[in-house]
Amino acid sequence: MDYRKLFVVRPGTKPKLDKIDPGYSGKHVTENDAKADTDTYCAKLNKLQYLLFSEAKHSLLIVLQAMDAGGKDGTVWHVLGTMNPAGTTVTAFKQPTTEELEHDFLWRIHPHAPARGMVAVFNRSHYEDVLVVRVHKLVPKQIWSRRYEFINDFEKMLYRENNTRILKFFLHISPEEQLERFRQRLVDPRRNWKISEDDYREREYWDAYMKAYEDVFAQTSSKHAPWYIIPANHKWFRNLAVSQIVAATLEEIGMKLPKPQVDLEMIRRKYHEAEESASEGKRR
């Protein structure tokens, strides 16, 4: 199953989230069923990221969006954590600071875009400025509605100027699954720190967020920066789908290890000379 085709939001379409099953898991019934495939894709990710870093001609930006408890941190840990941290950055965009609010909404985003050879992960992103800002009416519609165009231009610029592949994932969970994850945070001492009163307050805006996300998909999913709606009630299926999509995207770039920039034969000769000299020293 090619999850890129199954879960992509095709440009110009507007999916209805209430028509998409967040509990979908395809042919897989349990986590054990999916483990072998997930391990394969994660291992492939590790190798492909090495090529990306070595070649240093392209970069990858991964955007993770979800409702609270949707699995953004889990995706970073279980899937993207398989990559070498030396070539990966993860940025969590929280409420803007006073300084950030004094600039345009993309000002705080751009410094975290990936350099060539790097993978950048956004845990929440510039899309908060057409989501939470809209839902909570923090700015007028005439302001946030213009931001779709700015976002599209920003992503197009990254793609064309820096060879940045952009993958945007919405981790789709149901309200019932979210409530169960909140319950787990309350009863598990290791997760107590994750829960807050705001989590429950935000549930009151669920329908408004769904509508806002649907408009985001319709306005900003493009060929060079597609949105994928990932059924995420099953964490293990979320990991499978995301790992497959990221691996397939990197694979199609056709990366190769760069040719050596030095005279290997000369270095080999010097190595052998040093080795022989060391051996003679030991004999003496």
Q: What tens digit of pLDDT does each residue of 100-127 get?
A: 999 999 999 999 999 999 999 999 999 9
- List pLDDT tens digits, range 216-232: 999 999 999 999 999 99
Question: Mean per-residue pLDDT for 21-34?
Answer: 95
Any idea which of 3-17, 46-60, 70-84, 267-281 has the lowest mean pLDDT?
A: 267-281
pLDDT at 210 over 80: yes
Give the mean model confidence (pLDDT) for residues 226-247.
97
What's the Cα-to-Cα distance from 149 to each of 11, 21, 54, 246, 280, rounded to whole Å? 14, 30, 34, 25, 71
Whether the per-residue pLDDT at 238 is higher than 90: the answer is: yes
First to last CA, the chain: 66
The pair of structure tokens assigned to 259 is 């040719």
Which domains, ranges and CATH numbers included, belong to the chain?
3-259 (3.40.50.300)
